[in-house]
């Protein structure tokens, strides 16, 4: 499996181009081998690469960050505000259904975001039907696999550079 590299505010060069952040929650580092019947066979590294290429083609900066730790995700959201992140794409993974703290972090920064899930959470167990994020999100994409991230990016690019 390819190794996922997180990008961080410290390591990225400053640029005037708009900045987007993709936030991946716990266990998404296992994509590619994790329950492929739900999550497909695309790895997180492949998803992040596809997003980075598309963003680069549109002249937009995009950083991706994955963590299995709630606090690390919260701190990355706080840093996003300092960086001036314009939009986020967020798959909170299991924290979707549990984390008031991550919800509050995103609400506290006010950064608009699209919530993405690879699987159709509404076709799965009842505990996956509730999200602490959906009412805050611009919109929710669920069940379209890894393409969901790219569709979310296309939408955000259309908002950044309307035709
Ligand atoms: C998920 C759905 C969640 O219920 C689950 O806990 C995940 C991934 C998805 O992308 O389908 O880890 O967010």
Any idea what the CATH number is for the domain that residue 37 is in?
Answer: 3.40.50.9100
DSSP state of 119: S
Residue 142 lies in a domain: yes
Secondary structure (3-state) at 64: strand
Cα within 13 Å of Cα(149), Cβ side: 29
Number of domains within the chain = 1
Question: In which domain, by residue range, is 68 found?
Answer: 18-160
Q: For residue 14, how far is its CA from the centre of ligand 1 (angstroms)?
A: 32
Considering the candidates 24, 87, 95, 117, report the single residue annotated as catalytic.
Answer: 117
pLDDT of residue 16: 85
Backbone angles phi, psi at 160, to 5 degrees: -75, -45
Per residue of the chain (163 residues), what is the pLDDT tens digit?
344 456 555 444 446 899 999 999 999 999 999 899 989 899 999 999 999 999 999 999 999 999 999 999 999 999 999 999 999 999 999 999 999 999 999 999 999 999 999 999 999 999 999 999 999 999 999 999 999 999 999 999 999 985 5
Choice from 128, 129, 142, 145 to test ligand 1 binding pocket (greatest atom count within 8 A of CB): 128
Q: Answer whether residue 12 is part of any domain.
A: no
* Structural domain contains residue 98: yes
**Ligand 1 atom 9, closest CA:** 117
39 is catalytic: yes
Q: Are strands 139-142 and 113-117 parallel, antiparallel or unpaired?
A: parallel
Contact 22, 52 (CB under 8 A): no
pLDDT computed for residue 161 by the predictor: 83
pLDDT at 2: 40
- pTM attached to this predicted model: 0.91
Residue nearest to atom 6 of ligand 1 (CA): 94
Angstrom CA distances, 125 to 50, 70, 122, 129, 130, stand at 30, 22, 8, 7, 10
Residue 102 lies in a domain: yes
Give residue for tokens 């602490």: 132
Tokens of 9: 């505010």
Tell me the pairing of strands 87-91 and 139-142. Answer: unpaired
pLDDT at 6: 61
In a domain, 42, yes or no: yes
**DSSP β-ladder status, 87-91 and 113-117:** parallel
94 located within any domain: yes
Instruction: Tell me if 114 sits within 8 A of 138, measured CB to CB.
Output: yes
């Amino acid at each position: 499996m390819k190794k996922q590299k997180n990008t961080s505010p410290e390591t990225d060069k400053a640029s005037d181009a708009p900045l987007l952040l993709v936030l991946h929650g716990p266990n998404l580092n296992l994509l590619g081998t994790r329950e492929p019947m739900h999550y497909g066979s695309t790895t997180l590294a492949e998803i992040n690469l596809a997003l980075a290429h598309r963003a680069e083609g549109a002249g937009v900066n995009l950083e991706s960050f994955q963590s299995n730790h709630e606090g690390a995700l919260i701190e990355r959201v706080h840093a996003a505000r300092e960086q001036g992140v314009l939009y986020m794409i967020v798959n909170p993974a299991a924290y979707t259904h549990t984390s008031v703290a991550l919800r509050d972090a995103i609400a506290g920064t006010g950064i608009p975001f699209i919530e993405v899930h690879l699987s159709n959470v509404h076709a799965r167990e009842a505990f996956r039907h509730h999200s602490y994020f959906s009412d805050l999100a611009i919109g929710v994409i669920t069940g379209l696999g890894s393409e969901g991230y790219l569709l979310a990016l296309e939408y955000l690019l259309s908002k950044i550079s309307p035709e």
